[in-house]
Amino acid sequence: RLISRVRSVLGVELSVRAVFEAPTVAGLAARLVGAAGARPALRVGERPGVVPLSFAQRRLWFLHRLEGPSATYNMPMAIRLSGALDHDALRAAVADVVERHESLRTVFGEADGVPYQRVLENVEVDIPVIPTTESDLPRHLESLAARTFDLTGEAPLHAALLELSPAEHVLSLVLHHIAADGWSVAPLSRDLATAYRARAVHHSPQWSELPVRYTDYVRWQQELLGSVHEPESVINQQVGYWENALAGIPERLKLPADRPHPVVATYTGGVVPFTLNADIHRSAVALARETGSTLFMVVQAALAALLHKLGAGTDIPIGSPIAGRTDQALDDLVGVFVNTLVLRTDVSGDPTFRELLERVRETDLAAYAHQDVPFEHLVEVLSPTRSLSHHPLFQVLLAAEDIDPELIDLPGLRSTLRPVGTGTAKFDLSLSYRERHTTEEGSPAGIDCRIEYSADLFDQATAERIAAHLSRLLEEAVRQADRPLRTLDILMASERQRIVGDWNATAYESAGHGLTLKDLLEEQAARTPERIALAFEDSELTYADLHARADRLASLLTRRGAGPERVVAVAVPRSTDLVVALLAVLKSGASYVPLDPDDPAERTAFVLDDAQPVLLLVTEETSALLSGIGSGPGRILLDSPETRALLAGSEADHERPEDVSSAGALLPHHPAYVIYTSGSTGRPKGVLISHEGIVNRLLWMQAEYGLTREDRVLQKTPSSFDVSVWEFFWPLITGAGLVVARPGGHKDPAYLADVIEDHRVTTAHFVPSMLRAFLSQPAAATCTSLRQVICSGEALTADLAQSFSAALGIPLHNLYGPTEASVDVTHHTCPPQAGDAHPPIGRPIWNTRVYVLDAGLAPVPVGVVGELYLAGVGLARGYLGRPGLTAERFVACPFGAVGERMYRTGDLVRWNGAGELEYLGR
Ligand code: AMP
Ligand code: MG
C-alpha cells in the first residue's frame, strides 16, 4: 500500500526495504533527498566530553525548567502479560534495553546557562512488584503515569510490575518524552521481546549493534541544518519557506469550547476513544488512493472541515508530529527525534471535500519538504504572541499512530500494549488514530481514534460530541467527496430533533388565547375595581378610576379618528397621565407610538413623520418641546383645563369607544404599539407589535413569575423602550399595583432605592449596567420589599449576578429579546444563592422557537456559535412602511409551517448542553 502511495505522491521508484521501514511518506520524502546526496551522512563519531542537546531535547528541557517537574511530558505504557512470567528474565531484559539505548540512561544539566546531556555508564533498574486487583489497576497505572522525573539525577524511565495473580501481570513503563517519542515504541518493544526471549533461557540477547547513537544524531542535526548565521544554510532556507507559509496565521483558533482559555493553562485533560467503522475506513482509503493523497490527508481535511463547521473560521492550522527519523540509521533507536509541522488548512470558499483534500495534499507535501526546521526554532523566528494560556502557532494536533498493540511477542505470554491516560493535555484538542487491518487480506478493518482534550476548555460531553460529529462528517465526506462542505451534515438525527424540536417545544394555548391586551386590561379592572392600580408620587388611582379616565379619553380619541391599524403618538412624561394615555389608545383600538420627551428633536420629528399618527397626545411641557415640528397631526393637550375636566368626568361624555368607532373591531393581529429602534444604519425604524404577540408575552410572564395582588411593579423604563410595555401592563392585567417613577428618576439609583422602599415595590427591572450602579448604593441593601429583579437589554455577567445574589439573595431573571419579537423571547433565572458561572439567556418562552444557524441557515450543534433566529407568535408584523427592510430581516423559516417567517437577530449565541442559549455578542 505504502509503496504505491509513495510512487503516486512522489513519482519515484523505491526499494521495498525503505518503504517497510519508513514510518510515513514524509520520512520517505526526506530520505529521498538524503539519498540524492543533498544531506550529510549520519555516522558514528567521536563523543565530546559535553554533549549539547538536540532541538527537541532542548525544548523539553526548557519546558521542564519553566514548568517544573510535571507529568505533562510523560509517556506511559502498560504491557499486559498473561501467562507464566519469568520475573528475573523480565528484570534482566529491561536492564538490557536500558543498556542498549543510551537515551534511557541519560541525565541533563546546565553549565553557564547552556544545557548538556551526560550518558550514564551503569544504571540500576529497579522494578518494584505491586500486588493489585483488576478494579484497582487503572488507578495504579494512572498514579505511576503521574510520577515526575528528576531529569538531572535519574534515568528517564520508570518501570513497575503490577501483579494481578501469579499468571496475570501488567508491566508499567513510563518514559519521559526527552528520552523517547511515539516512534520509539516499536524498537523499544522489539528489543524488550528479544532480550526477554534470550534471558528466559539464560542467554544474553544476540542483537546487532545499533548503527549510531543518539549523540551522533545531535551532531548530525547541527551539521545538516547549518548555522542560522549563514544565509544559505538549510535551516535558513526552510525558515524562509515557513515564514511565507504561515504569514498571518490566526493567533488562536476559535474552538467550540465550554469555557474561555484560563490565563495560565493547567494542562489537565481527558480522553475520548471512538472508532470509525470498516466501511468509512474503506471509503477513506479509496478516496486517498483515487486522489493521490494519504489517509492522513483525508483525516486532516475532515478535521479542518469539522473545525470550520464548528465555528473556527476558514484558516485552520493543525499541528502534526512528524517522525524526524529522516535517516534510516535512526529507525531502531529509542530517543526523541519527533518534530512538529504546522499544516495550515485553507477551508475558505466552500470547497468540495475533494477540492479541500487537494489543497491539503499540496500543503502537506510542501511542509514535508521543509520538515527539518525544529518547531521551537520556528516559534522563535515567527515570534507569535507568546502566552501561557495556549500553544503557539496551533492548538489542535493530528497524529497518525502506527504502533501495533500486539507488537510485543514474549514466549509463553500473550501480551498487549496500551497507552495509559496521564490526565493531561498538551493541546486544546488532539486527534490521534490508528488503522486496523484484517489479518487475512490486510484490508481496512476500522480506525481507532482518540480525542485528547484540554479540560481547561472542554467538558467530556463536548469532546464526545466532537468525536461523534467527526465520524458523521467523515462518513459523508468520503462517500460524497464532490459535495460542497456547506452541504455536509454533522448533526445526528437525534441531535437535530433535540435542538430544533425538543428545545423548541413551547406550543401553549393559554386561557387568554384570542384576546387582545385591551380585553385583558378591562377584564382585570372588572375583577378588582377598588384596588389601587397605580401610584405616582403622592397620588393613587384605583382600577375603576384609572379605567374611567382612560375610557373617556378613548372615546375622544375615537371621535378624532383613532382605531385599529391607526397610530396615535404619545409624547407624555412619566406620570399618571401617561398611563391613562396609553390605556386610552389601546382602548380606542389604535396602536401607540411613544415619543420620549428626552429624545433629540430630530429623532422625534423623524418618528412623527415616519409613523404618520392620526393624533398626537401631549402635555404643556412636551407641546412646547415639539413646537418646532411643523403642523403634524392634530394634538390633544392632556393637561389643558378642558381635557382635565373631560378625564375627571365632570363633562357629560359617556359614549363608549365602540359606539363611535368607525374603524371596525379590534382583533388580535392588530398592532398594539409601534416602537422605534435606532438600528445600526442610524435611521430609526418602527416595529409593529400585534396584540397577540404582546398578550402571549405578558401571559407567559404571569404564568412564570406569578404576580399577586399584593405585588407592586416599578415603572421606570422610558416608554420608548419596549421593556416599559410589560412594566405598564403586566401589573394591570393581574390586579397588582403599578408604581410610576418620576421623570428622570430612572437614571438616579439613590432615588430608585427610595421609591422601592417607600412604595414597597416587589418587582423591578434593570439593565445590567444600571443594576450595577443600583447595587453600589448602600440603600440597595435596604430594599427588602423586592422579591425578584428582571434584567435584560445587555449581557448579564457572572460577577454582576453574583454580587446581586450576595446583596439581595432573591431570584434574578435574565430575559433576552429584540424589539422585533414582543420584548423578550428567552428567559433564565439565576438561582437566589450563588449565581451561575455564566448566566445564559435561557430557553424560549411560550409559542416561540429559537434557531442557532450557520451562514447556510443550517442548525449548528450544541456549543457552536451561530446566529440566532426567532420564530413564533411574538414576531413583529414588520417595520412600519418599510417592506424591503422587513423582507430582509423577517425571512422564510425552513423549520416551521409553510409561509412561516423567522427574524434574524444578528446576535451570536450558542446552545449549552442543557437546552439553554448563551449570548456571545453581536
Ligand atoms: P432592543 O431591540 O433594543 O430590545 O435590543 C435588543 C438587543 O439587545 C438584542 O438583540 C441583544 O443584542 C441585546 N440584548 C437584549 N437582552 C439581552 C440579554 N439578556 N443579554 C444580552 N444581550 C441582550
Ligand atoms: Mg429588548
Residue 842 carries which DSSP code?
A: B
Q: Is the CB of 905 under 6 A from ligand 1?
A: yes
Ligand 2 centroid distance, CA of 722 (Å): 6
Q: List residues bridging with 114 in a β-sheet.
A: 111
Ligand 1 centroid distance, CA of 790 (Å): 13
What is the C-alpha to C-alpha distance for residues 438 and 440, in angstroms, rounded to an integer?
6
Q: Is the CB of 795 under 6 A from ligand 1?
A: yes
Letter string b/e over residues 250-284, b meaning 16 or more CB atoms within 10 A of that residue's CB: bebbebbbbeebeeebebebbbbebebebebbebb
pLDDT for 2: 43
Q: Is the CB of 816 under 6 A from ligand 1?
A: yes
User: Do the Cβ atoms of 871 and 895 come closer than 8 Å?
Assistant: yes
Report which ligand 1 atom has the smallest distance to the Cα of 823: 4
Cβ neighbour number for residue 160 with a 10 Å cutoff: 18
What is the C-alpha to C-alpha distance for residues 76 and 374, in angstroms, rounded to an integer?
24
Q: Which ligand is nearest to the CA of 869?
A: 1
pTM (predicted TM-score)? 0.78
User: Do the Cβ atoms of 472 and 490 come closer than 8 Å?
Assistant: yes
pLDDT for 537: 95
Atom 14 (ligand 1): residue with closest C-alpha? Answer: 793
Q: List residues bridging with 430 in a β-sheet.
A: 397, 452
Q: Is the CB of 717 under 6 A from ligand 1?
A: no
Atom 5 (ligand 1): residue with closest C-alpha? Answer: 818
Residue 904 carries which DSSP code?
A: E
* Cα 316 to the center of its chain, rounded Å: 16
pLDDT for 23: 37
Q: Is the CB of 907 under 6 A from ligand 1?
A: yes
Q: Is the CB of 677 under 6 A from ligand 1?
A: yes
Tell me the three cell numbers of residue 629: 415640528
Atom 9 (ligand 1): residue with closest C-alpha? Answer: 818
User: Do the Cβ atoms of 148 and 72 come closer than 8 Å?
Assistant: no
Report which ligand 1 atom has the smallest distance to the Cα of 721: 3
Q: Is the CB of 794 under 6 A from ligand 1?
A: yes
Ligand 2 centroid distance, CA of 816 (Å): 6
Letter string b/e over residues 889-917, b meaning 16 or more CB atoms within 10 A of that residue's CB: bbeebebeeeeebbbbbebbbbbbeebbb
Ligand 2 centroid distance, CA of 705 (Å): 18
From start to end of 455-531, where are the E strands? none
Q: Is the CB of 840 under 6 A from ligand 1?
A: no
Nearest residue to 749 via CA among 731, 730, 769: 769
Q: Is the CB of 728 under 6 A from ligand 1?
A: no
725, 794, 823, best to mutate for ligand 1 pocket (most atoms within 8 Å of CB): 794
Q: Is the CB of 919 under 6 A from ligand 1?
A: yes
Nearest residue to 159 via CA among 149, 174, 148: 174
Nearest residue to 173 via CA among 147, 135, 210: 147
Q: Which ligand is nearest to the CA of 687?
A: 1
Number of H helices, E strands in the chain: 28, 34
| Beta strands at 396-400 and 429-437: parallel, antiparallel or unpaired | parallel
Model confidence pLDDT, tens digit, residues 424-444 = 788 999 999 999 999 888 899
pLDDT for 21: 28
Q: Is the CB of 797 under 6 A from ligand 1?
A: no
pLDDT for 276: 96
797, 919, 920, best to mutate for ligand 1 pocket (most atoms within 8 Å of CB): 919
What is the C-alpha to C-alpha distance for residues 639 and 621, in angstroms, rounded to an integer?
9
Q: How long, in residues, is the chain?
A: 922
Model confidence pLDDT, tens digit, residues 708-720 = 999 999 999 999 9
Q: Is the CB of 922 under 6 A from ligand 1?
A: yes
pLDDT for 727: 98
Give the Cα-Cα-Cα angle 264, 267, 269 (nearest 5 degrees).
135
DSSP assignments along 491-512, one per residue: --HHHHIIIIIGGG------TT
Ligand 1 centroid distance, CA of 770 (Å): 15
Tell me the three cell numbers of residue 55: 532541538
Q: Is the CB of 76 under 6 A from ligand 1?
A: no
Beta-carbon contacts of 73 under 8 Å, excluding residues fewer than 6 positions away, are 60, 63, 64, 176, 177, 178, 426
Ligand 2 centroid distance, CA of 520 (Å): 22
Residues of the chain with pLDDT below 70 are 1-39, 403-407, 419-422, 630-631, 650-663, 679-681, 834-836
Ligand 2 centroid distance, CA of 794 (Å): 9
Atom 1 (ligand 1): residue with closest C-alpha? Answer: 818
Could you give the 3-state DSSP secondary structure of residue 342? strand
Say which amino acid occupies 120.
Answer: L
Q: In what order do the strands lie in the sheet with 129-131?
A: 129-131, 157-165, 168-176, 74-82, 414-419
Q: Which ligand is nearest to the CA of 720?
A: 1
pLDDT for 531: 98
Q: Is the CB of 869 under 6 A from ligand 1?
A: no
Q: Which ligand is nearest to the CA of 824?
A: 2
Ligand 2 centroid distance, CA of 666 (Å): 26
Q: Is the CB of 576 under 6 A from ligand 1?
A: no
